[in-house]
Structure formats: C-alpha cells, structure tokens
Copies of this chain bind each other. A is one copy, B any other.
Amino acid sequence: MHFKLAFIGFGTVGQGLTEILLEKKDMLEKKYNFSWSIVAISDIIKGSVYDESGLDMKKILDIAKSGKKLDDYPSGIKGMDSISTIKDTNADTIVEVTYTDVKTGEPAITHIKAALNVGKNVISTNKGPVVKQALELLKLAESKNAKYNFEGVVLAGTPALNLANYTLAGNNISGFKGILNGTTNYILTRMEEGMSYEDALKKAQELGYAEADPTGDVEGLDALGKVVILTNVVIGKKITWTDVERKGITEITIDDINKAKSEGKRWKLIGSAKVQSDGSVKAKVWPEKIPLDDPLAGVGEATNALTFFTDELGPVTIIGPGAGRRETGFSLLIDLLNINRKLSG
C-alpha cells in the first residue's frame, strides 16, 4: 500500500531513513508492495514545509545537508508547527524523530499522542516515550485503530523487539540479559587490549560513540532506559526508572579485566530482568564477568546483543549494531514494513 509520511524532526535519523527510502524505492515496491511519499517535514531548527502531493526528497536532503532552512524549498506551504503538521496535513503516518529528553519524554510524547488521537500511525526512535508510557501509548494506539511502532529504541535497527514479540511468539519470555550500550562495550573492548579506562573513553569520544559528558553511557543510564523498555514491552511487566538497580563501568580497572581474563571471563555491562517466583521483576544494569562460552562474551566493539529466556527454546540470542545513523534510520523502515504487512493482510 501507499504511505504518506510526515517527519517531525529531521536530524540524522530522519535523513538516514530518507536515504534508504530513496535508494530502495523500486525494491520496496516490487518485493513488499510498499510505496511512499513524504508530504511534510517540521523541524524546530530547519523550519517546515508541506506539499500534499509529496516533496522532492532529493532536494530536501540537499537543503538539509547544506545547513539551509526548508524555506529554501521552491514550493509548498511553509511555517506549520509540529502539531499542525501532525493534525492538519494529509499524512497518514508520523515519523517522530525529534530531539527528545529521555527523562521527560518530551516533546515526543505530546507529538505521539496528538497523532494517535487523530488515528494516524506513529513510528519513532525516541526512547523517552517508551520508557515513560509504553503501555499507555500502545493502548491509545489500539483504541484509535492506529499503530505505534518503535523498533529502534533498543539495538537500533537490529530487530530485537520484533524478534521477541512476533518471531518468538508463542513463547513465554521470563527474562533477558544483554549488552545494551555500545559505548561502554567499546571501552571494555579497548581495556581488554590493555588500554586504561581514561584512554578508552577518550578514544570513544573521538569516534563519536561517547558524548563530551559520558555519564549517560558509563554510569549505565542509557542501558537502564532500555531495561525498562524491554521489561514493559517484552515481558509485559510495568516497571519504571527507579525500579532498576544500577552500577556503571567507571570503577572497573585493568586489574579487574586481567583477573577476569585469567578466569576465562570478560567484563560486560549487562542489562537484565527476570520474573521472580512471586511474579515481580528483578531488573538491573550491572557489570558482570561473563564466561567465554556465553555468546555475549564474544560481542566486542560497539556491537549490542540480547538474550531472551524462553520457555520453549531456552535462551535465544540476537547480536547486531546498536547505533548509527543509517542503522537507526533502518529501524523505521522495519516499523513501516510491519504496518504495511498488517494493513495488507
């Protein structure tokens, strides 16, 4: 079927998706009967543009990459804000990729609710809304006969959520453990090679993995958000930010690394949750020494990995990228193809 998309936010992830859609246009039509036009974009810095018959996205990408404003686009309606772009355009599906505070979930939550309330589908890579309100937003979507998909909020385009919720359907998933943060895994990989924590962090910052203030990564906050998401969305138990025990990697020394090595183990920052016998969930982000015969031990560099504990199959693990402009943009295509599949029957 044909999708009319509106982008709320047009940073690297939105541009990544756009590149994929342009390059794979023919393949997507032929193989999945999926076609698209992008009718509107609203970005807090770049401005906004709307053309109900579809924008020329090659031109839009040129404008965005040259740092110009969308007002430079030669036609279309300019100046619509994000809410009117969601509600007052002919878009049927909203791509919510604004810069959003992971703690408050705003402005993404407001955008997502506005879209679902008028029955429009939402796809989004923003973690904040899923951490804070996953179950409420999914319920709202269902009541409005719309879809809210967010494959990219854990492991970027590596389809961990779809694996759990569709491909492993029929299993009871009672827990998970994973390497959910690429930056800390990169740092630990360098330390395995003998680099100090400080040098490894500096290198991660040079490569753009870690931000100038690395707290969110190295103290385990990013991984914590993903543990909350997975517990809510995969295990189906409602927990919040404060229900997760947390310790980062800042206290791990080269001595610790070497000691683990001599025991045939490797330090990894593990995010995990497990349903207890009383039905409650024990969730944590904690550095753990993983034996070499655990698949997670072999996951190096910035790669992510996630093991689900299932009743029918035992542990099932998926390993893939956890970040990246194109990889995260791709997660939105997974979301679109899922909606397409459901609506096509």
Which residues from chain A sit less than 8 Å from chain B, CB to CB?
A: 20, 24, 27-28, 31-32, 157-159, 162-163, 166-172, 292-300, 305, 312-321, 326-327, 330, 333-334, 337, 341-345
Contact = CB atoms under 8 A, between A and B. Distances in A.
A334 B316 CA distance: 15
Contact of A170 (B163, B298, B330): B330
A313 B167 contact: no
Contact of A313 (B157, B312, B314): B157
Contacts of A292: 292, 298
A166 B319 CA distance: 17
A169 B32 contact: yes
Given A28-B170, A32-B169, A330-B170, A305 B295 contact: yes
A295 B319 contact: yes
A298 B305 contact: no
A268 B305 CA distance: 21
A334 B169 CA distance: 7
17 contacts: A24-B170, A28-B170, A157-B312, A157-B313, A163-B163, A163-B167, A167-B167, A170-B333, A292-B298, A312-B327, A313-B321, A314-B321, A315-B320, A316-B318, A317-B319, A343-B345, A344-B345
A319 B320 contact: no
Copies in the complex: 2
A84 B205 CA distance: 68
A172 B330 CA distance: 12
A20 B31 CA distance: 34
A88 to B, nearest CB: 30
3 pairs of A and B residues whose beta carbons are closest in the complex: A345-B345, A298-B298, A317-B319
Contacts of A298: 292-298
Nearest to A326: B312
Contacts of A314: 320-321, 327
Contacts of A294: 298
A292 B167 CA distance: 28
Nearest to A162: B167
A319 B296 CA distance: 10
